[in-house]
Structure formats: C-alpha cells, structure tokens
C-alpha cells in the first residue's frame, strides 16, 4: 500500500484513515462495509468512530439502497472543509515538489 502524505501529517489513526477515504472520494457516497474495507479500519472500530462523525455532522447520510445506508463527507461542515483543504494543500505541495525535481533533471 502506498504511503499517504496526508496520514503522515495528521497521523494514522483509524478516524483519519476513514476521513482520508471519504475526502478522496468526496463526490461519492459509501456503505459502512465499503468504508471498513477500503479505509483499512476494522468493522468494530468503524462502529465506534462513525457515530461521533455523524453526531458532529462531519459525515452525513445521503440515501438508502435496500437495507444499506450510504454516507459521504459533509463538504458544508467547517471542520470537514478544513480537512479537505489540508488534504488538497498537501497533495498540491507534493505535486509541485515533484514537478521541480522533474524540471531539474
């Protein structure tokens, strides 16, 4: 698995892994199973963390598909906005650094 610059900066806690996955796919919604499998967080840990993300409105429920509930990051939430900005800033800075290396060669 490729190292994440975002997680290197904010720490590799289960909460940040879940948030990174939601930020990367901010235009999509996901089931809890998707989140657990793709963020690398156990089902039990996800069920401990997720209610807090919902309570603080960092994550919102978008719809129901059958019995599954789908969620996404709440891009209107000030905390989520800041995390998205941080994620984007880290990646832009990394791209610029790599661009400079390529130009120097």
| Burial of residue 31 (number of CB atoms within 10 Å: 0-12, 13-18, 19+) | middle
3-class SS at 13? coil
Is residue 63, in this structure, part of any structural domain at all? yes
pLDDT tens digits, one per residue of 30-51: 999 999 999 999 999 999 999 9
Residue 22 has pLDDT above 90, yes or no: yes
Spatial contact of 59 and 73, defined as CB atoms under 8 Å apart: yes
Q: How many distinct structural domains can be found in the chain?
A: 1
Q: Residue 98 above 80 pLDDT?
A: no
Q: Could you tell me if residue 2 is inside a domain?
A: no
Q: How far apart are CA 98 and CA 32, in angstroms?
A: 35
Q: Would you say residue 65 lies in a domain?
A: yes
pTM > 0.85: yes
104 or 59: whose pLDDT is higher? 59
Domain that holds residue 80: 7-104
In a domain, 13, yes or no: yes
What's the CATH code of the domain at 62?
Answer: 1.10.10.10
If one counts every other C-beta atom within 10 angstroms of the C-beta of residue 12, the result is 13
- For residue 72, tell me if it sits in a domain: yes
């Amino acid at each position: 698995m490729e190292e994440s610059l975002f997680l290197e900066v904010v720490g590799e806690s289960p909460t940040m892994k879940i948030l990174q996955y939601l930020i990367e796919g901010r235009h999509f919604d996901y089931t809890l199973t998707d989140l657990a499998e793709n963020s690398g967080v156990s089902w039990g840990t996800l069920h401990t963390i997720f209610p807090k993300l919902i309570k603080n409105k960092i994550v919102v429920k978008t719809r129901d598909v059958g019995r599954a509930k789908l969620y996404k990051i709440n891009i209107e939430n000030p905390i989520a906005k800041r995390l998205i900005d941080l994620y984007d800033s880290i990646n832009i800075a990394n791209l610029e650094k790599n661009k400079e290396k390529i130009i120097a060669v």
